[in-house]
Amino acid sequence: MENKRFNNVLLVTIPYKDSYYKPGDMPETGIGYISESIKQAGIGYDILDMTLGQSINDFFEKVRTMLPDLIGFSMKTYRFDETYEFYKKVKQEFPNVPIIVGGPHISIFRETALSDCQAIDFGAVQEGEETMVELCTGKPLNEIKGLIYKEDGKIKYNGDRQINFNLDKIPFPKYEKFELEKYWYPSIYLISSRGCPSKCTFCSLRLVIGEGWRYRSAKNIFEEIQYWYGKGRRIFEFADDNFTLWKERVVELCNLIIESDMKAFFNCPNGVRADRVDKELLDLMKKAGWVAMTFGVEVGTNEMLKDINKGETMEQIEKAIKDSIEAGLEVHLNFIIGFPRQTTADVEKEFELALKYPIRWANFSNLLPYPGTELYTEVIKKNYLIKPMNQYLANVATKAGLGKIAEPVLETPELSREERIRLLKKAKQVQREMMRRYHIRRLKKEYGLTGLIIAKLYSRKIIPISVFNFALDSSKRVKHKLGSKKKSN
């Protein structure tokens, strides 16, 4: 115990204003992994998730009560300037308590982050579990790979930690000190793999989590599902960027789930590669409990797929969409608007694909070039940026969703700022049309002939969406209660 550098760690999640996700939706997975790792190393810790409604004064009170010897944060780049200000207030209030920050922002900006925000004492780059354990247990600072630290007024970095290719050795989160009952979203996020072998020009994943794809075994993933299933959880979402990259692993997992007779629901919301699924796999996933599949399509033409180095074809993408629909899965698609050399006609192809099939939803993201990517190097070289990098990473929304219009951060010879805004506005119109079509299909499925009549009234805007949403939700609640009574009888 006496050799430990830190033995009373407070791990904190802070909220982000105007976040794409509603605050308090689910626990921060990265913090979950860190907490489980230091717990198994014998390090004392506690959790404060401020997305559940706690103020900065609540945070200060928690620190005064707990008296931690280290405070840890996971940091996104979005609104990083406000996050820096938060850290400064913490340091002003508790100048003798060191702060360590991990997450995407630190992994991308590294020493620059500690230089720009003097309140940060340590940075954990990429995978942080072993780095955090070694820091807390007292390993000499200059021997801890993946650690950024300050010494004699200088910021030092020991170099990247060697990638851990045996993810089964990393304990999965159990969120033992999280207030799980307060999160409104019922799903448990699972991470079954890390990294990506692809080299897409726009993607910062290799900077954030390291080069190379590594995975957990099917049995190890199934153990985590069993753990949460035993605690009454029934909805699981895989947050992987490449869940289906190795088909045989997914097949083994599906068979384990089927053999267990679990009645659970699964989803892959972050997107999978269309060239890594087939009809056989999708049918098996449906049988195991998958209800939805998201594909990272990005663009709408083979020329643009090649240009961004996606390594897929439109033919593969459309086949994956059709196979998923035939398997009975809800399909979601992710697109990006605004690449160099992308034309208006190219973006229109994205809209056409989104409306071509009876899919559930499509996201249209506003292109943001991240430092360290091939895309960023190009736009800087060609002077395409119309907003400074610090400004757009701090406050520009990535999603061209149903909220306010995302602001373009670059313009190219093919797409001016004004044309980009027009296309982002049109993306919202496409999403509204998708929503209208989805609800019509939903009404027909739920109510048959009655639903068909309601659908026609809705499509003509005679009745509003809120009316039949209420009816459908009420119907589901009634069915759920009746099912519960049958089981009890």
Neighbours of 324 (CB within 10 A): 27
Q: What is the pLDDT of residue 448?
A: 74
C-alpha closest to that of 114 among 74, 84, 69, 146:
84
Neighbours of 17 (CB within 10 A): 9
- Is residue 309 within 8 Å of residue 199, measured between CB atoms? yes
Q: What is the pLDDT of residues 173-183, one digit of tens each?
A: 999 999 999 99
- For the residues 151-156, what does the mean pLDDT come to? 94
Q: What is the pLDDT of residues 119-139, one digit of tens each?
A: 999 999 999 999 999 999 999
Q: What is the pLDDT of residue 482?
A: 39
CA dist 111 and 95 (Å) reads 21
| Helix, strand and coil percent figures for the chain, each rounded to 5 | 45, 15, 35
The amino acid present at 51, given as its one-letter code, is T
- For the residues 240-248, what does the mean pLDDT come to? 94
Q: What is the pLDDT of residue 461?
A: 58
* 258 Cβ contact list (under 8 Å, min separation 6): 287, 288
Q: What is the pLDDT of residue 449?
A: 72
Tell me which residue has tokens 């068909």: 452
Helices (H), 67-144: 80-93, 104-109, 111-116, 129-137
CA dist 164 and 158 (Å) reads 17
Burial class (CB in 10 A: 0-12, 13-18, 19+), 374: middle
DSSP string, 284-330: HHHHHTEEEEEEEEE-SSHHHHHHTT----HHHHHHHHHHHHHTT-E
Q: What is the pLDDT of residues 9-52, one digit of tens each?
A: 999 999 876 555 566 788 999 999 999 999 999 999 999 999 99
Q: How long, in residues, is the chain?
A: 489
Q: What is the pLDDT of residue 458?
A: 59
Phi first, then psi, for residue 434 (nearest 5°) are -60, -40
CA dist 174 and 141 (Å) reads 29
Q: State the virtual CA torsion across 320, 322, 325, 327 in degrees, nearest 10.
A: -70
CA dist 336 and 355 (Å) reads 16
Lowest pLDDT segment from 95-104, 166-175, 177-186, 411-420: 177-186
C-alpha closest to that of 188 among 233, 250, 253:
233
CA dist 440 and 463 (Å) reads 12
- Is residue 170 within 8 Å of residue 10, measured between CB atoms? no
* 298 Cβ contact list (under 8 Å, min separation 6): 200, 202, 304, 305, 308, 310, 334, 335, 336
- Is residue 221 within 8 Å of residue 253, measured between CB atoms? yes
Q: What is the pLDDT of residue 393?
A: 83
Q: What is the pLDDT of residue 453?
A: 72
Q: What is the pLDDT of residue 24?
A: 76
Q: What is the pLDDT of residues 295-326, one digit of tens each?
A: 999 999 999 999 999 999 999 999 999 999 99
Lowest pLDDT segment from 62-71, 184-193, 399-408: 399-408
Query: In a 3-state reduction of DSSP, which class is residue 151?
Result: strand
Lowest pLDDT segment from 62-76, 84-98, 426-440, 458-472: 458-472
Percentage of the residues of the chain whose pLDDT score is greater than 70: 88
Q: What is the pLDDT of residue 397?
A: 56
Q: Reply yes or no on whether the pLDDT at 442 is more than 90.
A: no
Residue 193, H or E segment: strand 193-194
Q: Reply yes or no on whether the pLDDT at 84 is more than 90.
A: yes
- Is residue 172 within 8 Å of residue 224, measured between CB atoms? yes
Q: What is the pLDDT of residue 271?
A: 86
- Is residue 200 within 8 Å of residue 179, measured between CB atoms? no
Q: Enter the pTM of the model.
A: 0.89
CA dist 221 and 234 (Å) reads 15
Q: How far apart are the first and last CA of the chain?
A: 55
Q: What is the pLDDT of residue 64?
A: 97
Sheet (strand 330-337) strand order: 188-190, 235-238, 265-272, 290-298, 330-337, 361-366
- For the residues 485-489, what does the mean pLDDT come to? 42
Q: Reply yes or no on whether the pLDDT at 477 is more than 50.
A: no
